[in-house]
Amino acid sequence: MISKNPLRPILLILAICFIATTTVLARVADTAKKDLNIVFIGNSITHGAGLKDWKTEAPPNEAAKYLMQQAGVGVVNFANQGYSGHTTVDFLPATNKDFPKVEAAAQAFTNKNAQLVFSIILGTNDSAVNGPNGAPVTKENYQANLQAIINQLLKDFPGCNVIIQQPTWYSPNTHNHSTYMQEGLNRLQTYFPMIKKVVKSYAKTNPGQVFRGDRKAFGFFKKHAEQFFQHESGQDGIFYLHPNKEGAIILGDFWAKAIYKNLYK
């Protein structure tokens, strides 16, 4: 004789409800992922100079890959706006040189629901003794230039995020068609406190929009330059300025970690 359990129908209903609720929550969790549109603003290092295929090997490519592997991150689209030899002067809105390209890149993203992010890493060419446009740029002018660029970005794209990545190390004998050397390396490091000041200046006017990015790559590449930088022949011997393929991956990861930390944690 089969005994009838009066709780069986109730348990069955509860099980169905649990499965349905779990499915709904899974869909909510999936849709809760934040998509990103990132414009990487920079120089030859951002561009991927010296790499066999900069379109697939430059640091922004790796940064996007890294981010899409992190919890809460959806689809990441990016635009590489790195121009060899360029400085903050070249990106000033008033010069009408690089800035219109940055604007166009941001407007070209088709996913209009994604969070728009501008990742800025400029300063290497600003610090040069001579050669690049405007070099040498004083720390005060570097700060003013960054603020002018960011002010226009915030005006053009309300709700965007701006992350200023700290420029990375280069060898003190760096001398190609432009002169950097120890003087330039020393100047580069005076920019770091300026980045902090720039970010702090937006704390009240634009809270939660402008952040300090990576600060670890400088020390890492200083320590491991021979392994992760291209060995380039210059007027003062072999110098280290541009990451090699492995170095570009590492640099992209540094940028991505900073973006993730500021936007998702």
| The 34-42 sheet, strands edge to edge | 73-82, 34-42, 115-120, 161-164, 210-212
Q: Among residues 163, 165, 146, which one has the least CA distance to residue 208?
A: 163
pTM assigned to the model = 0.88
**Planar angle of CA 67, 224, 184, nearest 5 degrees:** 95
**What pLDDT shows up at residue 7?**
57
Q: Is-contact 76 67, C-beta < 8 A?
A: yes
**What pLDDT shows up at residue 9?**
53
Element (H, E) at 26: helix 8-31
Residue 223's identity, in one-letter code, is: K
**What pLDDT shows up at residue 265?**
81
Query: Tens-digit pLDDT profile for the chain (265 aa)?
Result: 444 555 555 544 444 444 444 443 333 344 579 999 999 999 999 999 999 999 999 999 999 999 999 999 999 999 999 999 999 999 999 999 999 999 999 999 999 999 999 999 999 999 999 999 999 999 999 999 999 999 999 999 999 999 999 999 999 999 999 999 999 999 999 999 999 999 999 999 999 999 999 999 999 999 999 999 999 999 999 999 999 999 999 999 999 999 999 999 8
**What pLDDT shows up at residue 25?**
38
Q: Which CATH code of 3.30.1300.30, 3.40.50.10470, 3.30.70.330, 3.40.50.1110 fits the domain covering 36-264? A: 3.40.50.1110
Q: Is-contact 160 122, C-beta < 8 A?
A: no
Q: Among residues 261, 242, 257, which one has the least CA distance to residue 57?
A: 242
Rounded distance between C-alpha atoms, residue 158 and residue 178, angstroms: 37
232-234 and 237-239 strand pairing: antiparallel
